[in-house]
Structure formats: structure tokens, C-alpha cells
Amino acid sequence: MKFLHLATALVFLAASAGAGAVAVERYTLETHELELAGATRSVDVFRPAATPAGVAIVAHGFTRSRVRHRDLGRALAEAGVIAVVPDLPNVMNLWGNGDALAEFVERLEGGALASVAVDRAHVVLIGTSAGGLATVLAAAQLPGLAGWIGLDPVDRTGTGAHAAARVTAPAVVMLAEPSLCNLVESGRAIAEALPRRWRTVEVAGASHCDFEDPTNNLCQVVCGRSSQDARAQIRAEIVTTALELLDPARTQREAPREEVVE
């Protein structure tokens, strides 16, 4: 994995202070060009200004890109989590994406990216749709992860559920309403196979597109309407869950439970 280019942007929040305004840095956004699974891909890194609680690697869905998780990346960074959002290397080979993500975590552990020096005990994998499949495949290869969050994951062949049974990390799955785009809640089989599933969160009324942030018209035409309120609700739930998984003082959770979020 070779890093080829780096662009950095500083993001500021103007805060009132007496008669003037003080610029308070909230996070930095870095974009790296790197070699992933033999192809050059862009990776966004949202880094909080404060000492980070850990790292969340976010994987996009089928034919999508890292752009579809920029709002989530910002929200994670503002909450104190380094968000790493790559363009995945494969469109059709979802299993290859799983291998690439597992290798990516191992390379981060080895110091391939100095600004994201981390060990896997402080890494949460998050994946949407086909990215949910890729990340659960990766998680099955990475014992010792802090956790895995599946966002309406799609599993056409059953390989996701098979991999989920080998995931040793705590996990949370969020589901939209059944539709063709999530193969009628195929992610439920993944959730039920997880040995350390903390909970399954069913988001009432949510479409498959509500797990992108931002989404676009193409997704909504194919997979159903999305709303800002639903995306904000889901984004807040993801951030809360990531912090929970990264909490070093976390205790043993109760038996898996189902939750419905209105």
C-alpha cells in the first residue's frame, strides 16, 4: 500500500468571545491517494482536534464512493473519533474488498499512515450495504477489533452470515425497512449469526438510502426516498455506537436485543 499524495484542509468553527470571534479548530480533513488491492484509491481522513478516542473505518455501498459518507465522517470527528473513509477498490468483487479492508487495518497497525497510528483494539469497522458485507468479511479476519457496525448490510450469497459467525468483536446491526435494495432485510441473517451481537436496531420508516450521508437522487430513485431527519437520526446512532464500542471501560453487555427506532 503506497501513499502517493496528501491534501489537507482545516475546518473551523467561529465561536463568540467578547466583541470578537475566536476560530476554534474542530477537525482536519486529509485526502490521501494510496494503493489498495493493486489500484490507486482516495482515502479521506477526518481527524478530531482533541485527543481521539479511536478510529472508525467506514466502507461505502455498491457502485458508491467515499463521498457518500462525508457527513458521517465529520460527525465522528467532531465526537472525537478519527474517521477513515476509503474508495473501495472493487465494484463487483465484494469479497476482494473484504480482504483489502483487512489488509488496510493491518497496514495502519504497522504505521503506514502516521496520522492514524492505531492498533486494532481501537478500531471500529463500519459498512453500508455492500460495504457492510465487505467489513464483516474483514472483521472475521481481524480478531481483537473494538467492534463492527453494519448499516443495512446486504448478503446475497450467505457468505456474510458465514463470516459473521467468526467475528469475535462486539457488533451492532442497523436495518432499514425491507426492500429490493437490501434484499428484503438480508442483513438480519448476518445479525443473527454474530456471536457477540449487542443489538439489532430497526429504524422504522428508513430506506436503504438513509444510511448514506449524504445520499443522492440516483439512490432515491432506485431504493426509496430519504429524509434529512432520518439520516440525522441514523448518524447520531452510529456515532453513539462507535463511542460505546471504543470505550475502554465498557462492561459485558446483556444478551442480544432488538430495538425499533421510530
Report which DSSP code applies to 88. P
* Paired strand residues for 28: 10, 47
pLDDT of residue 257: 65
pLDDT at position 92, please?
A: 79
Helix (H, G, I), strand (E, B) or coil at 257: strand
- The predicted pLDDT at position 3 comes to 43
Q: What is the pLDDT of residue 125?
A: 98
Question: In the structure grid, which three cell numbers stand for residue 128, read together?
Answer: 453500508
Q: What is the CATH class of 3-261?
A: alpha beta
Helix or strand (DSSP H, E) at 218: helix 217-223
Contact between residue 88 and residue 60 where contact means Cβ atoms under 8 Å apart: yes
CA distance 81 to 141: 23
The structural domains of the chain, with segments of one domain joined by +, span: 3-261
Q: How many CB atoms lie within 10 A of CB 114?
A: 7
Report pLDDT for 22.
43
Angle between helix 228-246 and 70-78 (nearest 10): 50
- Cα separation, 193 vs 144, in Å, equals 18
Kind and range of the H or E element at 27? Answer: strand 20-36
pLDDT of residue 42: 92
pLDDT in tens, the chain (262 residues): 444 445 555 554 444 333 444 444 789 999 998 888 888 899 999 999 999 999 999 999 898 989 999 999 999 999 999 999 999 988 778 789 999 999 999 999 998 888 888 999 999 999 999 999 999 999 999 999 999 999 999 998 999 999 999 999 999 999 999 999 999 899 999 999 999 999 999 999 999 999 998 998 889 998 988 999 999 999 999 999 999 999 977 755 555 666 666 5
Task: Give me the pLDDT at residue 128, please.
Answer: 96
- Measure the CA dihedral 131/137/138/139, to 10°: 110
Q: What cell does 20 get?
A: 470578537
- To 10 degrees, what angle do helices 94-109 and 130-139 make? 50
Name the nearest CA neighbour of 85 among 126, 54, 123.
126
Residue 112 to residue 4: CA distance in whole angstroms: 12
